[in-house]
Structure 1
Amino acid sequence: MARAMYEYTKTVLNKVSFDATLFCKEVQKAAKRLLPHELEELRIFINSLIYEQPELNQCLIYLKA
């Protein structure tokens, strides 16, 4: 089930990537829900989104623990 949550999180982040504030809120939620190794995968995924939309860079602080 945890893997399903990771895939769902990626889907949501793709859909809200147009708004950096909303994107950051979803990243915060994901940081609470996902397992540590999934957070590392999520960081890689977010970095690929940041390459296309640099304004999302501010949200990486929520993944650094």
Structure 2
Amino acid sequence: MLEYVKTILQKVSFNRYLFERELKKGLRYLMPTEIDEFRDWCYDRFGLTYQPILNRYFKPTY
């Protein structure tokens, strides 16, 4: 499921509204063990563009 959610986010990354909606849905589908990997991938891939949205859905790691 992780790869599917990544694919969807890449496809909708052109639109802020769609990106946030699909990120929210994707987090519901993932297993708790996949969330850390997904968070890191999201920040690597979309951190420059959508950091405020990502910060809303992921707790900061220190």
- Fold shared, TM-score > 0.5 on shorter chain: yes
Using the alignment, how far apart are the partners of 1:46 and 1:37 within structure 2?
15
Partner Cα separation in structure 1 for residue 53 and residue 33 of structure 2: 18
- State yes or no: 1:10 paired with 2:6: yes
The number of residues matched between the two structures is 58
Runs of 4+ in structure 1 over 4 Å off: none
Where in structure 2 are the equivalents of 1:1-65 lying within 5 Å? 5-51=1-47, 54-60=48-54, 61-64=56-59
Which runs of 5 or more residues in structure 2 are unaligned?
Answer: none
TM score, norm. by length of structure 2 = 0.78
What RMSD over aligned residues (CA atoms) do the two structures have, in Å? 1.4
Q: Percent identity?
A: 38
Offset of 1:36 from its aligned partner?
1.3
The one-letter amino acid paired with 2:8 is V
Q: Gaps (5+ residues) in structure 1?
A: none
